[in-house]
Structure 1
Amino acid sequence: MKTYGQFCSIARALDLLGERWTLLIVRELLCGSRRFGDLRRGIPRISRTMLSARLRELVDAGVVARDDGDEGPSYVLTRAGEELVGVVRELGTWGQRWLPRELPREELDVDALVWDMRRRVDAEALPSVPVLARLELTDTRGRAAVRYLLLRRSEVSLCSVNPGFPEELVVRAPLRTLTAWWRGDLSLADARSAGMVVQGRREWVRAFPKWFERYAFAAVTPAAEG
């Protein structure tokens, strides 16, 4: 681990937390991920080797605890790690307020988006019966990606193939449009005008946006509007 070589507490904290990927791992743990595979789904562009190395550094520093249970290792934030919630929240708020809201192409990621959608479902708002939502997203080059959200009050699952349920709800949108709606950059009406289409049972189409709590910083307005 590189060091700034300063006594300053900010510099010493950045020696650990300023490494690439480290705070994103903390973010995922704060959002409830516990398993190695779930951490990778939340940060799909990190390699297995890098994730292992960063987790080891956090464990060694006492920020994360590793539990080698019967079902494999799991990770949880220690008291020191949980105190980072304010750091992560303020960093996210600052980024949402002050950074440009128009995302470059390289920051549009299907898997990161749908994983965040999966963990932000309001289970109590779902219908009493399971609903399979098919998400068809096209990138800036016109290539389509399909993912499935199996929405149940007991559990929400994200799948790359249909798990065997009728496709009773279909969401079609450019990846940029769905991402912008999720982040709070577009209203639902504006997202629909930009190509987002939701098809299925009328009451479910109407209720679909209310099944999600949206992105954690969606309510933060840009600095120019605040």
Structure 2
Amino acid sequence: MTTPLSRPDVIDQLAGIVPGHALDATRAGRAQARLHSQQSYLALFEPASPPPADAFTLVQRFAVATFVALLHGQSQATRFYADGLASHGASRELINAIAAEAAAGDASGPYGRYPEGPLSVEDAPGLSYGVSKASAGVLGARLSAALVHAHLLVFHPRDASAQALQALLDAGWSETDIVTLSQLVSFLAFQLRVVVGLQVLKRSSDHDEAAASSPAAEALAS
């Protein structure tokens, strides 16, 4: 059985943090946060019992994750989740369709409208995304609807509505799987934010270490 301690921490892996690095000690100082994020990853992507074929399958989960990582412009995470997608038997055609849809859905955001009132001044129109007919034939109705919903949560969170949930139900999603889909997109938003922050800290730490070990620095210290 997979446990949080039986495989490399995914956030560390995506951020390029190796054992012994200064940030490894920093992460160890937040051991519970590190553990909980890893447990969340395992529950979503490496569950003890794979979901049934008519539910939110692992292929679908890695497909949505690859799409979301692409929308966030995170190359390391994109490779990680795309590798996971391929390892679960996804075809090259499916992987290419995910990449094409992420490119079509590229935006900056967040967009959307607030209920009429003081916050309406912050309303922002933006891309209204839909899966292309060509990709829909590859992805199928369920995964197509999942990508549209994921795009909504990433770029139009304030536009979430009963109609958006009904679109998933109409595509064959159960209420339980809709909750899991929303949890997955929310987890990825958290995970990718942490990874970006750690990558910035790692570049700064590595730069300082390189500067400290340069011939000029050594000469000044002597």
TM-score strictly above 0.5:
no
More strand by share: 1
More helix by share: 2
Higher relative contact order (CA 8 A, sep 6+): 2
Rg larger for: 2
